[in-house]
Amino acid sequence: MKEGIGKTHGKIILMGEHAVVYGQPCIALPFFDTMVKTVITPYKTQRLTCEFYDGLLETMPELMEGLQRVIFATLDTLGERHTPLHLDITSTIPIERGMGSSAAVAGSVVRALFDYFDQPLDYNQLLALINVSETITHGSPSGIDALTTTGTEPVYFIKHHAPKPIDSHLDATLVVADTGVLGKTKEAVGYIRRHYEEKDVKKAIEALGDYTKQAKQALLNQDAQTLGTLMNQAHHLLQFLHVSSNELDVLVQVARENGALGSKLTGGGRGGCMIALCRNQDADAIMNALKEHDATHVWKMALEGE
Ligand code: PMV
């Protein structure tokens, strides 16, 4: 039977969320422990099946408008707008936790549709199509989610510039913990936009950019201690910008008290996930402590010591 398959994965922003919207750099990593897979097969109507919906593409709920738009835009691009087919999406990326779920779902669908119709997919075209959905879901996306959920390397990214892969081999572990609370990226981005003209807010955004530049250097120098300190400083500024939450602050603190070199929220904030940079031998104890303090899910990612 004819079949189209598209896969993508989650992403973690190490440094620079929110500041990246204002032209500052950010560093993001692909997160292969969470992934999305879309399988397309022939069908009698245009139907979508996923965890939240099973029905016609035309009647998808408003909350799924971003996904619906990207499917129609891709079908239009392929000249197959009304071809009957069945899209089956499965994902292990928790939604609205700052892990790039919406971009990853959009990316897997675009890849699967191009695969189904045997058409080559240019990478820039993939990013542009994902941004059709991201613009609806996020407002004014920087493009970092589209890039990292489809790419395979850590990147240093400045909006409207070509991303630069970072060749990093840090002998440390990144622990990721989910607060279990939905993040509110659009709301947090909107809050900063409304306050951006205030001198202190602008200064905080610039400082976040400086920390990200220093973090890149720390990664290249394989200096986990300095990177951890920069993560702590970044979290402090994100708190000042009102994009953290009590749940995030508790987990950030628990990680530090249990030996993390640094910890901060990751992604849009106001819920969602936090990250902690740990010495390899400390990672399991820090994960346990985070679970004891109500993290609903914890993961660990080796940062590739040599
Ligand atoms: O999708 P999230 O929650 O990881 O947020 C994306 C990162 C932001 O910098 C907050 C927004 C953006 O478009 O870059």
- Confidence check: pLDDT of 306 > 60: no
In this prediction, residue 185 carries a pLDDT of 87
Tokens 């953290």 locate to 244
**Ligand 1 contacts CB of residue 205 (under 6 A):** no
- Confidence check: pLDDT of 110 > 70: yes
Arithmetic mean of pLDDT, 111-131? 97
Paired with 100 in beta bridges are none
| Ligand 1 pocket: which of 144, 244, 275 to mutate (most atoms within 8 A of CB) | 144
Centre of ligand 1 to C-alpha 7, Å, is 21
Each residue of 122-132: pLDDT tens digit? Answer: 999 999 999 99
Rounded to the nearest 5 degrees, what angle is found at the Cα of 151, between the Cα atoms of 29 and 282?
25
Helices H / strands E in the chain, number of each: 9, 11
In this prediction, residue 57 carries a pLDDT of 98
| Ligand 1 pocket: which of 97, 182, 185, 270 to mutate (most atoms within 8 A of CB) | 185
Arithmetic mean of pLDDT, 276-289? 98
In this prediction, residue 305 carries a pLDDT of 53
**Ligand 1 contacts CB of residue 11 (under 6 A):** no
Quote the pTM value. Answer: 0.91
Q: Cα separation of 203 and 174, whole Å?
A: 28
- Confidence check: pLDDT of 141 > 90: no
Centre of ligand 1 to C-alpha 293, Å, is 25
- The 3-class secondary structure across 50-88, one letter per residue, is ECCEEEEHHHCCHHHHHHHHHHHHHHHHHCCCCCCEEEE
Q: What is the mean pLDDT of the chain?
A: 95
Largest CA distance in the chain: 60
Centre of ligand 1 to C-alpha 19, Å, is 10
- The 3-class secondary structure across 159-212, one letter per residue, is CCCCCEECCCCCCCEEEEEECCCCCCHHHHHHHHHHHCCCHHHHHHHHHHHHHH
Q: Cα separation of 287 and 187, whole Å?
A: 29
